[in-house]
Structure 1
């Protein structure tokens, strides 16, 4: 945000706060919306919305547009993990619930540790311009 969007340090740092705030608010607000839509429909809405916001972030080189897009990405990403857990409990037999949910949480945690490191290493080697296609592909 500082280099590419020419943002000052404080507003650039607040962008990550906006993402995490969006994630939290999205889990709370969309947690009530998701059961009404149904898990499949909700995920089918949240994922394209998140991808569209990533494209806005990538293609519109203005700081404030990017900051709002990041916060809204967090908003729509927030309920995805709980929605996947709900879907898993509906699809799998009861005796597999604990181990499957535990595995999903562990896999999420390891991905949250490994993927930023790997993407950061690629960005350091090739430049920050490679970040957006990688993030969109994920």
Structure 2
């Protein structure tokens, strides 16, 4: 599996973002899953902070078609996975942008908002869709 990070992972924060997005979080009871595998990291069974979870639910999109609703869900799942950026005080806010490129490609960007209002690109991925569909 090849995650093409546009500039290479060079900082601990970038590494943490990659882990947050591409470690599969356990499915919620309300999530539609097509088999008994709910994914998830075993360490989430014993969080040091109540309800603290690692990873994203992007994997739930693996059997879907890349349409607008899927892109919206990808953004929602990425925001959920990266909420810790604000909770831990690394940024005051962040945005996730996703864009379909061609038939089988989904680019994603994470932009952080600092306390002074300045925006900073925290991560950019050229094909999240490939990772979602080839991770199994």
TM > 0.5 between the two? no
The TM-score normalised by the length of structure 2 is 0.29
Would you tell me which structure has more helix in proportion to its own residues? 1
| TM-score normalised to structure 1 length | 0.29
Using CA pairs under 8 Å that are at least 6 residues apart, name the structure with larger relative contact order, 1 or 2: 1
